[in-house]
Chain A
Amino acid sequence: MTNTDLSLALRKRVLYSSIGLAIVVSAIFISVAFNLSRDLGQSLELEHSNKMLLQLTKSIKAIVSTADLNELSLNESVKTELIALLDKDVIGFEIWVNNKHFKLRNSSFYAQDEGIATAINTKQSSYDFIENEAEMLIWVYENSPLDDLSILMVTKTHALDKAISYVSNRLFITAFLTFWLTVWVALFISALISKRFEQSNDRLKYLASHDMLTGLPNRTYLYDYALSYFTPENVKKHQDLDTLFAIYIIDLDKFKDINDTMGHLVGDELLKAISRRLRNLKEKNSQVMRYGGDEFVVWCDDLNESDAISLAEDIVLLCRQPIKVSNYVFETSVSVGVAYYPASGQQLDDILKNADIAMYQAKKHRLGYQVFQQELFTRSEFRISLRGQLNAALEKRQFVLHYQPKVQLPENNIVGVEALVRWLHPKEGMLMPNMFIDIVEQSMFVHEFTRYVLLQAIMQCREWLDNGIELSIAVNISPYNLMDPELVSYLSDLLKHYQVPAELIEIELTENASMVNIDKTREVFSQLNKLGVKLSIDDFGTGMSSLAYIKHLDVDYIKIDRSFTIDVVTDSRDEAVISSLLVLCQKLNKLTIVEGVETIEQANKLASLGCTLAQGYLYSKPLSAEEITHLLSKRKAETDNKIINIKKFN
């Protein structure tokens, strides 16, 4: 039932109730007034009749003595004299004297009246009204007003008729006017109530479908709108005209940080400012909605693909402009995911889900915007599936370590290995770390995972030691592990338990990760240093670290990122960077390892620059525990202790 139908039904109900009430009140009013006028009239008639009867009785007494009454029927002159006393309205006048009955005037109108007969028979003084077709009569029977004398008088009424007539006329007119007035008032009140009802309903509808903070339509509105949008006509329009509508999911980058640091009030103001900007999008057919939290949705119809991309660019640019909120200037950025109908889904839920996938892709890679492609969905679905299997994989020990050697230049002696995790997935086969590490980091298993890797590495180290191979193993940890208060003690317990020298374990942390919370990194590194494990900064040169931080972080190794190695032979700038870093690290008393060495030319060049440690496919790809053990044993036999322990090298 629509709002209008409800309002109309309410109005009708109020109107009919008011009219009904008016009719009932008028009926009661008329009935009471009519009865009142009738009672009043009857009372007057009775009073009049009694007075008349008293007068007649006195007159009869004056005319005849008691003794003469016996002779009344014989004395015509007395009878005539008495009749002359009677009013013309008196149609019946009968007297009883000494059991004799005299009718001075009588009529058939009352001859059959039972009330009169009863009064006469019982000799009880009484009165009543007789209503016949033509007129109203009143009879009064008075027993013994004089000794042995009873009188019955029947009179036509006038006051009663007149009173009823007057009252009826006026009551009718009054009732008519009252009724009409009531109808008008009822109409007015019903309109007023209906209007209020509609206003309340509209307000409730607005509250339910709009976000109070920004005033934008909300998710409920979006679904309602979609419900009304997916009509056969619109579906056909998109099929025939080859147009599309696009849904953009817009998510503010780092909004949580703003909320946490500046407070929710500032965060709210920022959301309002963003919503105002989005409202001003140039695209005419666009609608902006707040999807929830810091997410907005733009629905844009009748687009072609280039328009859709252009709008996505507009949104990104529009939101990048600095925003002043509460004396702070924010340089915000947004990530936008775009999905088209019908290409990206036939139902709103599918389109939203796909736009969301695209948005997360854009956020992850800082792309600004990303249009949904099926490949993204497949990847996303796959990742979600992996996320659900993490716990089981840990329990079933599906994660295994592969080891990539680190060599000393120019002899290429293996001086250590870097442990790299592989997921031996029962269905998907061997999965590389780039396919699951970020899933692990975002999950609740990140600490458990790192501890598992450390355990595997230390157990391997123990096994090698038992076989006479003393080789350090580098383990990568996640920046989230720095927050694990038990990490250092866990590592210490493991080392003690397996009796592995601490210096054979190397902890690697990427440059970016170590800079996230420099104080925390320094604190944990300090504890690890005390434990005796080696520390290194991975992927150095690609992050945003300040050299001051490097100075303060007490690490043993700096691993120069592979991006500088790739073109070191041909690009003098890469050469300059590497040689400068080598000098810098030497001055800071830190060892450098160059990653990503794949060709002999690169190795030679790096050796010529003074690089002493390298890692890459030129020397070996990451190998399974069995393979690397086999390789190490072989090398050990060949070079007879030419394996240089990193400890010794150090």
Chain B
Amino acid sequence: MLNIKHNLCAIDRIIRGIIAVALIVYVVVFFDQIGDMLLQISILIFALMNLISFVLGWCPVYNIANINTCKKG
């Protein structure tokens, strides 16, 4: 069972939000330039994961790696 507790600090969340939005915009705007469907889907998945982390304030990789940027010190 995944324990969904906040493990992202505000800065971490904001960076992930920006990355998610930037990637989605990039895929939409430069759809033809990217060309490869696999790459397009990969970027979207990656963006989506960052978006989820942004919304929940929780990163599954951090959770597995036992990292918590909320904690100080």
Hey, which bits of chain A sit against chain B, CB under 8 A? 166, 169-170, 173-174, 177, 180, 184, 187-188, 190-191, 194-195
The complex places the Cα of A190 from the Cα of B46 at a distance, in Å, of 21
In the complex, the answer to whether A188 meets B33 with C-beta atoms within 8 Å is no
Contact A180 B65 (CB under 8 A): no
Residue on A with the closest CB to B67?
A187
Q: If A188-B64, A190-B65, A191-B66 touch, does A180 touch B46 (CB 8 Å cutoff)?
A: yes
- Which residue of A has the minimal Cβ distance to B62? A187
Asked whether B35 is an interface residue with its Cβ less than 8 Å from the other chain, the reply is: yes
Chain A interface SS verdict (over half)? helix
Provide the residues of chain B in CB contact with A187, threshold 8 Å: 61-62, 64-65, 67
Contact B46 A169 (CB under 8 A): no
Inter-chain CA distance A628–B61, complex, in Å, is: 98
Interface centre among B33, B42, B46, B65 (most CB of A within 10 A): B65
Would A188 and B65 count as touching, CB distance under 8 A?
A: yes
Contact B65 A170 (CB under 8 A): no
Q: How far is the CA of A170 from the CA of B35 in the complex (A)?
A: 8
Contact pattern, B 39-58, Cβ under 8 Å of A = 1, otherwise 0: 10011001000000000000
Nearest B residue to A177 via CB reads B42
* Residues of chain A within 8 A of B39, CB atoms compared: 170, 173-174, 177
The smallest beta-carbon distance between A32 and chain B, in angstroms, is 18
Contact assessment for B61 and A184 in the assembled complex, using a CB-CB cutoff below 8 Å: yes
Q: B21 within 8 Å of A by Cβ?
A: no
B33 — nearest CB in chain A belongs to which residue? A169
Cβ of A440 to closest chain B Cβ, rounded Å: 65
Q: A177-B42, A177-B43, A180-B46 are in contact. Are A170 and B61 (CB under 8 A)?
A: no
- The answer on a CB contact under 8 Å between B34 and A191 is no
Distance in angstroms between the alpha carbons of A169 and B35 in the assembled complex: 9
Taking CB atoms, residues of chain B closer than 8 Å to A194 are 66
Known pairs A173-B43, A177-B42; A166 contacts B65 (CB<8 A): no
A220 to chain B, nearest CB (A): 29
Give the docked Cα–Cα distance between A169 and B34 (Å): 7
Closest to A190 in B: B65
For B26, give the chain A residue with the smallest CB separation.
A173
Chain B positions near chain A (C-beta within 8 angstroms): 33-36, 39, 42-43, 46, 61-62, 64-67
Cβ of B8 to closest chain A Cβ, rounded Å: 14
Q: Which residues of A contact B67 (CB under 8 A)?
A: 187, 191
Given contacts A174-B39, A190-B65, 11 further A-B contacts (CB under 8 A): A170-B35, A170-B36, A170-B39, A173-B39, A173-B42, A177-B39, A177-B43, A177-B46, A184-B61, A187-B67, A188-B65
List 10 tightest A-B contacts by C-beta distance, closest first.
A191-B65, A187-B65, A184-B61, A173-B39, A177-B42, A188-B64, A191-B66, A187-B61, A170-B36, A169-B33
The CA of A141 and the CA of B42, in the complex, are separated in Å by 46
Sampled A-B contacts (27; CB under 8 Å) = A166-B35, A169-B33, A169-B34, A169-B35, A170-B35, A170-B36, A170-B39, A173-B34, A173-B39, A174-B39, A177-B39, A177-B42, A177-B43, A177-B46, A180-B46, A187-B61, A187-B64, A187-B65, A187-B67, A188-B61, A188-B64, A188-B65, A191-B64, A191-B65, A191-B66, A191-B67, A195-B66
Cα distance A9–B33 in the bound complex, in angstroms? 43
B42 contacts across to A, CB distance below 8 A? 173, 177
**Docked pose: A187 CA to B43 CA in angstroms:** 20
Report Cα–Cα, A188/B66, bound state, in Å.
Answer: 9
CA distance A166 to B39 in the complex (A): 13
Question: How far apart sit A191 and B7, CA to CA, in the bound complex (Å)?
Answer: 15
What is the distance, in angstroms, from B47's C-beta to the closest C-beta of chain A?
A: 11
Which of chain B's residues has its CB closest to A174's CB?
B39
Contacts of A188 in B (CB 8 A): 61, 64-65
Q: Give the shortest distance, in Å, between B10 (CB) and chain A (any CB).
A: 20
**In whole angstroms, what is the CA distance A195 to B65 when docked?**
9
A174 to B34, CA, bound (A): 10
CB A187 to nearest CB in B, in angstroms, measures 4
Q: Which residues in B have their C-beta under 8 angstroms from that of A180?
A: 46
Identify the closest chain B residue to A178 (Cβ): B42
Compute how far the CA of A187 lies from the CA of B64 in the bound complex, rounded to whole angstroms: 8
**Docked pose: A191 CA to B67 CA in angstroms:** 9
Residues of B within 8 A of A173 (CB): 34, 39, 42-43
Q: How far is the CA of A166 from the CA of B32 in the complex (A)?
A: 11
Query: How distant is the Cα of A166 from the Cα of B67 in the complex, in angstroms?
Result: 38
Chain A nearest Cβ from B40, distance in angstroms: 9
Complex CA gap A170/B40 in Å reads 10
Q: Is the CB of A170 within 8 A of B64?
A: no
B-side contacts of A195, CB under 8 Å: 66
A174 to B43, CA, bound (A): 9
On chain B, the residues within 8 Å of A177 by CB distance are 39, 42-43, 46
Task: Give Cα A187 to B7, complex, Å.
Answer: 14
A101: shortest Cβ distance to chain B, in Å?
44
> Measured between alpha carbons, how far is A434 from B48 in the docked complex, in Å?
90
Q: How far is the CA of A220 from the CA of B39 in the complex (A)?
A: 59
Interchain nearest-CB distance for B30 vs A (Å): 8
**Chain B residues closer than 8 Å to A169, beta-carbon distance:** 33-35
- Output the least CB separation between A179 and chain B (Å): 11
In whole angstroms, what is the CA distance A361 to B10 when docked?
Answer: 68
A169 to B29, CA, bound (A): 14
User: In the bound complex, what is the Cα–Cα distance between A401 and B34 (angstroms)?
Assistant: 113
CA distance A180 to B43 in the complex (A): 11
Q: Write the nearest CB–CB distance from B51 to chain A, whole angstroms.
A: 14
For the complex, give the distance between the alpha carbons of A170 and B66 in Å. Answer: 33
